[in-house]
Structure 1
Amino acid sequence: MSTKKDMIERQLKKRSIEDKAVLKAMQDVDRRLFVPEDMKDKAYEDSPLPIGKSQTISQPYIVAYMAQALGLKDSDRVLEVGTGCGYNAAVLSRLAKQIYSVEIIEWLAKQAKENLKKTDYDTIEVRHADGYEGWPEEAPFDAIQLTAAPPKIPETLKKQLKIGGKLLAPVGTSSQKLVLIERLEEDKFKKETLLMVRFVPMTGEAQKD
């Protein structure tokens, strides 16, 4: 059984996670609080875990890698598309000022709210809605992170980025790439592919693109 120390030292530090703020966030947020009772002994393992109805909590390394790639500042406002059980939002909340998180599956949105209520993560707002539309009334955002993979990045989300803001998303169907986009100007974006990944597909309106 892996311990939290194993998770930080072996899974993160030895695998290119060097950002001290990210490492502290991963240390501070207890993954055990976000997994089902029968999974708590596996909470610190370097793998996704089932949380019910074919949904999973991402492996710690991917959560840390994505947080590090965004390079968040403590004044940033972040949109997360795909709340899941709330774990990723909790980690992001340790790195940014405010997290707005959208979850398309109603029972998951409720579970995330319950999980977060048991903690002191009070800078996270969770909404049950289709993340394709983002959270327009709170836009623009300093960063947007998707935790489910659309066939292509929705234009609606790109338009909710600040100039200079970054959007990070797994993109693709059978083969997925983690893509980082930076908004340079109103209609100018820089795109970088970081690594191959495997996420659940983004459902709802994204599948019609």
Structure 2
Amino acid sequence: MTLDFAKAREAMVEQQIRPWEVLDTRVLNVLLRLPREAYVPAAHRALAYADVALPLAHGESMMKPVVEGRALQALSLDGSEDVLEIGTGSGFMAACLGRLARAVTTVERHADLAGTAGATLLAQGATNVSVVHADAFSWEPDRQFDAICVTGAVDTVPDRFLGWLRPGGRMFIVRGRLPALEAVLIRADVNGPRIESLFETDLAYLAGAAPVPAFAL
């Protein structure tokens, strides 16, 4: 039986996204229109709209749709922004960001994921998204950004990420230690970063950003 992805997409928005307090019309419209299945590996395509994180190569994963929706809403993009995404993965979040912002740079440390995501984004017409193959912990951008979306968790928020925000910019990031990680929105204020707690979730750590194991005798 062939899956009706359009119906599955609508059900995802109405039964998962909206009930999780994602009410921003622009965000909902993007999630209703973008074919998430195009970004999901073929082996898991039937689960493209399920309320689960989907596996990618190298132990990476796509975030749950509800987390994607909350992240997009929290960034409150109006179409004028230069956005940085850290952790391209499948390319789906970059595609969403591209529909909501002026331009998106997305950084992926695995060459094959970067290549596949870049090809999919191009095939789907996401011409304002640029994929960079690099490790975010050694890469140096040539500019700052209005918004940053980090798709993997961190133990503590890296200062280098904060330094990439323009004054007044904002960052969505998940921080802390399992089992209770905290999604936050950080605003680059003149008096220092302002942090707004959004929700608790679970998310795989970015490579190089996991807690250092405590030494026990």
Q: TM-score normalized by structure 1?
A: 0.92
Tell me the CA shift for residue 30 of structure 1: 0.7
Number of aligned residues: 206
Rounded Cα–Cα distance in structure 2 between residues aligned with 1:67 and 1:57 = 14
- The answer to whether 1:162 aligns with 2:187 is no
Instruction: Please identify, of 95-104 and 50-59, the stretch whose mean Cα deviation from structure 2 is larger.
Output: 50-59
Q: Which of 149, 154, 173 pairs up with 2:153?
A: 149
What is the Cα deviation at residue 32 of structure 1? 0.4
Answering whether residue 65 of structure 2 is matched by residue 60 of structure 1, we say yes
- The residue that corresponds to 1:22 in the other structure is 27
CA shift, 1:54, in A, is 2.1
User: Given the alignment, which residue of 54, 75, 82 partners 1:77?
Assistant: 82
Percent of pairs with identical residues: 30
Cα displacement (A) at 1:172: 2.1
Q: Pick which of 85-94 and 188-197 moved more.
A: 188-197
- Give how far 1:34 is off: 0.7
Residues 98 and 129 of structure 2 are in contact (CA less than 8 Å); yes or no, is this contact kept in structure 1?
yes
Cα deviation for residue 15 of structure 1 reads: 2.2
Q: Which runs of 5+ in 1 are unaligned?
A: none
Residue 38 of structure 1 deviates from its aligned partner by: 2.3
1:81-160 equivalent positions in 2, closer than 5 A? 81-133=86-138, 135-137=140-142, 139-160=143-164
CA contact (8 A) 2:78 2:100 kept: yes
- Structure 1 CA distance for aligned equivalents of residues 168 and 105 of structure 2: 19
Corresponding letter in the other structure for 1:145: C
Distance 1:170 1:208, change over 3 A: closer
Secondary structure at 2:137 match in 1: helix
Structure 2 gap ranges (5+): 213-217
Using the alignment, how far apart are the partners of 1:80 and 1:134 within structure 2?
13
> More displaced, 166-175 or 19-28?
166-175
Deviation of 1:93 after TM superposition, in Å, equals 0.7
| Separation (CA, whole Å) in 1 of partners of 2:149 and 2:31 | 17
Alignment of 1:184-199 (within 5 A): 184-185=189-190, 188-199=192-203
CA distance in 2, matches of 1:20, 1:208: 37
CA RMSD after TM alignment? 1.8
Which amino acid in the other structure matches residue 125 of structure 1?
A: S
Stretch of structure 1 that moved more, 174-183 or 67-76? 174-183
Counterpart CA distance in 2 for 1:183 and 1:18 is 25
Rounded Cα–Cα distance in structure 1 between residues aligned with 2:10 and 2:123: 23
Measure how far apart 1:51 and its partner are. 2.4
